[in-house]
Amino acid sequence: MGCFSSKHKLPDPPSMPTTQPKQVQTQEVSMPQTRQPQQVQTQKVSVPEAQVPQTRQPQAVSVPLKPSPASTRPIQTMEDTVLGKPLEDIKQYYKLGKELGRGQFGITYLCTENSTGNSYACKSILKRKLRSKQDREDIKKEVQIMQHLSGQPCIVEFRGAYEDRQSVHLVMELCAGGELFDRIIAEGHYSERAAAGIFKSVVNVVHICHFMGVIHRDLKPENFLLSSKDAGAMLKATDFGLSVFIEEGKRYRDIVGSAYYVAPEILRRSYGKEVDIWSAGIILYILLSGVPPFWAETEKGIFDAISEGKLDFESQPWPLISETAKDLVRKMLTKDPKKRLTSAQVLEHPWMREDGEASDKPIGSAVLSRLKQFRAMNKLKKLALKVIAENLSEEEIKGLKVMFTNMDTDKSGTITYEELKKGLARLGSKLSEAEVKQLMEAADVDGNGTIDYIEFISATMNRYRLDRDELLYKAFQYFDKDNSGYITKDELETAMKEYGMGDEASIRAVISEVDTDNDGRINYEEFCTMMRSGTQQTEKAFLDTINSSIT
């Protein structure tokens, strides 16, 4: 599942020493000769656009990859299941291990295949959270698309789908090397040629998807993972939850994706596969500069900037970037999708070729620093809002308490996505389903897929309360355990781990993002600045609905 993501304005980066670049290894990409998803025949790819056949709607793919016995407790019909096949116990084939991550609908685990001992990743999706028919269809479509693309070296390998009475389990290749930016940051040095090598992997994914009749629709750095921690590890695309099969002549109208990477025609609700080229162009701009080309403190601001389409090639480091690189960025970020380059044309661009014009000259340490900051999630702000909510008086939250009780229709003490959607509809909210999902993810601090009472209060309380110094100071004191006047790395680590919100790398990134004077800790002034920064447009619409109903 995908949704619009919230980013933050980036502070000026500290200077870092420049070192010599290391050659980034890339791998050749093989292309399918057949549209069948299993046992795909391949051939080496280096084809101009004219040789790429017209895409068509692929045949629907049967979901199970391995036959297995049905559940001992039969169900009435196949329509009762998400995948449309008999229930089965995944434990017959895999042993689920430690948790790797959480999302709105489920949990990703490390899993081990019983017969071989090989390690994989298993995304377990709780069926009780798939309340709408569309949710269930989306899961089935994701399985079909991943199975259809299976066998391509630059796409995460899909192993199988299993369904029991509680969950749907998607087993896939384990990519343990981290995200796209992790490779760059770990190297510690960077050049245009290194960027071109990495970016070629991104464009190859787009090329194969389009060749096989799929639009990804959610290309962003977080959805590219390294297969391992080895220096030559391959970059692989993942998360096809928003992907669709291409239907000839069809224009898509639903607004999907992540805010920084959304093409202007998506905002106009009429688009095709060209949106993937735009998103890849945004990734290239970030790879070369460390910041996105279109950004603001609210989603509306980001969308306005995207619609305007003005690219900044004046700020650092762009004067140091080659004209060939800038030419490729411009041609990928052309507002008119008909004039935008195709994936084949991008691969043939002079800057992209192996013997091409990408320079070996280091881009500079500032870009690496910005990439670190851009990658950082501002988890501290979300946790601080929860602390503030816990310190509000009964009088201040009386109306919100009643609203929470009314939305919690099954009286479980938590609000599910479906309860939130229906509750907002009763209040007259005009938010779309995608926007409600975004709010769900924003409010769900601990990532368990539901909103508890304190999470609800922290998400809905009026933002004017953030101007009250005593509440901000209480939140600051929650983190500043030794009353030193600063939040240190150890104090932040203790607080965030208490809520299961971050590893050491993300904690360092949070401090780097908020710590504007670069002394390695967060003072009260920096804390207040962070807390009072812009609110997302969707969140504002949510708050307007809530506040109008209790006044």
Cβ pair 152, 201 in contact under 8 A: no
Residues 6+ apart with CB under 8 A from 288: 192, 195, 317, 318, 321, 325, 329, 363, 367
Q: Which residue has the tokens 């229930």?
A: 87
Is residue 230 part of the annotated active site? The answer reads no
User: Which among 237, 167, 171 is positioned nearest to 202, based on CA atoms?
Assistant: 237
Cβ pair 109, 99 in contact under 8 A: yes
Is 98 labelled a binding residue? no
Cα–Cα distance, 137 to 176 (Å, whole number): 29
Peptide bond into 317 cis (omega under 30): yes
Q: Which residue has the tokens 């080496």?
A: 44
Q: Which contacts (CB < 8 Å, 24+ apart) does range 84-87 have?
A: 84/140, 85/163, 87/163, 87/164, 87/165
Cα–Cα distance, 379 to 268 (Å, whole number): 32
Q: 408 — phi, psi (to 5°)?
A: -80, 75
User: Which among 51, 33, 27, 22 is positioned nearest to 204, based on CA atoms?
Assistant: 27
Cα–Cα distance, 540 to 462 (Å, whole number): 10
- Of 138, 182, 218, 276, catalytic: 218
264: number of CA atoms within 13 Å, CB side? 16
Largest CA distance in the chain: 69
Residues 6+ apart with CB under 8 A from 355: none
Cβ pair 501, 445 in contact under 8 A: yes
Structure-derived torsion over alpha carbons of residues 253, 255, 259, 263, reported in degrees to the nearest 10: 0
Q: Which residues are annotated as a binding site for ATP?
A: 127
Instruction: Give catalytic residues, as residue numbers.
Output: 218
